[in-house]
Amino acid sequence: MALLPILCYPDPRLHTVAKPVRAVDARVAALVGDMLETMYDANGIGLAATQVDVHERVVVIDVSEERNAPLVLINPEITWASPEKQVNDEGCLSVPGVYDGVERSSAVKVQALDRDGNSRIIEAEGLLAVCIQHEMDHLLGKVFVEYLSPLKRNRIKAKMLKARRETERA
């Protein structure tokens, strides 16, 4: 397994729409392993393949306290979302250090393939539901800051570009 570089906002590659995975094979299994290692190393609870510059519909999530319950979603589709909404503070490995409120459905039902290629239906609420929706947005080329006001989004973009320039100088 290997740590993968995580793209940082406003990298235009984060806006690429992911394509479906054609077959759950050894290549996809290796990608899933690398994504899980990368997510855990970065202290994240979710990571979409888009964030590591792989534009296929693969998501890894682990919202467990013990960090030992990975959930793998390949070609996920939300089949139901509750009409009830809630606002939660969200952060993102692609927008480090930034947290803000985003309104999302309180519960979702998702159909996806697991890491073995078996079809699964996951019913989620709370943090898991938020995380699934957040990561699936990445597969559509959407970053959570796009839910924020243009003023907040522009401030975040300027902050991220400044941080990148400072890192490049170091």
CB atoms under 10 Å from CB of 38, counted, come to 21
Is 134 assigned to a binding site?
Answer: yes
Q: Which residues contact 123 (CB under 8 A, 6 or more apart)?
A: 107, 108, 109
Closest-CA residue to 161 (of 72, 115, 95): 95
Residue 8 assigned ligand-binding role: no
CA distance 60 to 35: 7
Please, what is the end-to-end C-alpha distance for the chain in angstroms? 28
> Which of these is catalytic: 135, 146, 166, 168?
135
Does the annotation mark 125 as catalytic? Answer: no
Ligand-binding annotation for 55, yes or no, is: no
Residues at the binding site for Fe cation are: 92, 134, 138
* Residues assigned a catalytic role: 135
- Binding site membership: which residues? 92, 134, 138
